[in-house]
Amino acid sequence: MPESQPGLQPVSPPDFTTLAQTIKAWGAELGFADVRITDIDLAHTEAGLQAWLDAGHHGEMDYMASHGMKRARPAELVPGTVRVITARMDYLPREGAADWRATERLRQQDPQAAVVSIYARGRDYHKVLRNRLQQLAERIRAATGDYGYRVFTDSAPVMELPLAQKAGLGWRGKHTLLLSREAGSTFFIGEILVDLPLPVDAPTGAHCGACQACMVECPTGAILGPGRLDARRCISYLTIELKGSIPEEFRPLIGNRIYGCDDCQLACPWNKFAQRTAVPDFDERNGLGKAGLVALFGWDEDEFNRRMEGSPIRRIGHERWLRNLAVGLGNAADQVKGEAAIVAALQSRADYPSALVREHVAWALARHGIV
């Protein structure tokens, strides 16, 4: 990275107040909607994290437990860390219906529509945020000289949401997602762990009040109470994190959601303030906001890999993609039982090499009355 860049003014290292203000301005230039700074004391989160793990609510996400309490101790992950720069990037596509929540609900009611969570319709957020946070970190280096840092976004044992909450990016909603009064919950967060003693920002208060819309709306009852999520019941977990067979008790509840679930966000009143993204990376690709179950089920592995290049969806692989779609096609029987195109699509995979796919296809065919 060149030392001289437009807009970069050297900042005296001892002037950390000015540096913090400059970092936030650079963050805005890089497409971040908000940038805040916090200290690294997360001791108050450790008991809750341990209780959640002890209850087994993390399911097969073994990585949640594998690092012990290091997740709540940033200085153990990156020695020398004293502050965390945490940043928000909105992901609602730049183009779309003004009443996007109503549009999404209508698609959920269409038995032949394939519903992909909004955040996954564009480029993989891990790559987008990491790249831009790295650029921010390098701008800091150009202004201050060498310093210790590491960039993360949902990629290491870091308690991102508690850090973001402590920094004032928002508060934890009853669904456990971060909420902002200015942007609802349709955003990603990432962070830079640094050894610079920057001034910290104040947290914001919680503003959910008595509202329980997200808890009521959850199709599988995964939100056990305010701030208590059993991931094993969550559709996002079942369609993304779970590697094996989806429990039959949950299959009918998944409906036509084939990757992730936005229901708690669609129900949340704060998402009337959701912001459109400032970057093109999260614009819809491959027509995933309008795709049909039958068409996507017809993709072979090569087409899946080609179309999903650069997408977070590619990580689940073609096998689980077909598993999820088979469930959606089976659930279409609630409204269009025995529909010829759906039955033909399922029968085309009835002898598929993967036992996982065959199992879910057989279940789906049985829903259509074909054994």
The catalytic residue positions are: 154
- Are the C-beta atoms of residues 82 and 40 closer than 8 Å to each other? yes
Determine the Cα angle at 29 with ends 24 and 33, to 5°: 65
Helical packing angle, 125-144 and 16-29, nearest 10°: 140
Determine the Cα angle at 261 with ends 256 and 266, to 5°: 105
Given its phi and psi angles, is residue 51 left (phi above 0), alpha (psi -120 to 50 degrees) or beta? alpha
Handedness of CA 302, 303, 308, 313 (dihedral sign): negative
Q: Which of 251, 226, 268 is nearest to 331 (CA)?
A: 251
Q: Which helix (H) or strand (E) holds 88?
A: strand 83-90
Residue ranges with strand state E in 135-248: 149-152, 171-172, 178-179, 187-194, 223-225, 228-229
The alpha carbon of residue 235 and the mean position of all alpha carbons in its chain are separated, in whole angstroms, by 12
CA distances from 67 to 28, 156, 302 (A): 33, 10, 36
Given its phi and psi angles, is residue 198 left (phi above 0), alpha (psi -120 to 50 degrees) or beta? beta
Distance, in Å, from the CA atom of 353 to the CA atom of 112, rounded to the nearest integer, reads 25
Task: Give strand pairing partners of 259.
Answer: 116
- Are the C-beta atoms of residues 272 and 342 closer than 8 Å to each other? no
Query: Quick count: other Cβ atoms within 10 Å of Cβ 102?
Result: 10
- Are the C-beta atoms of residues 133 and 32 closer than 8 Å to each other? no
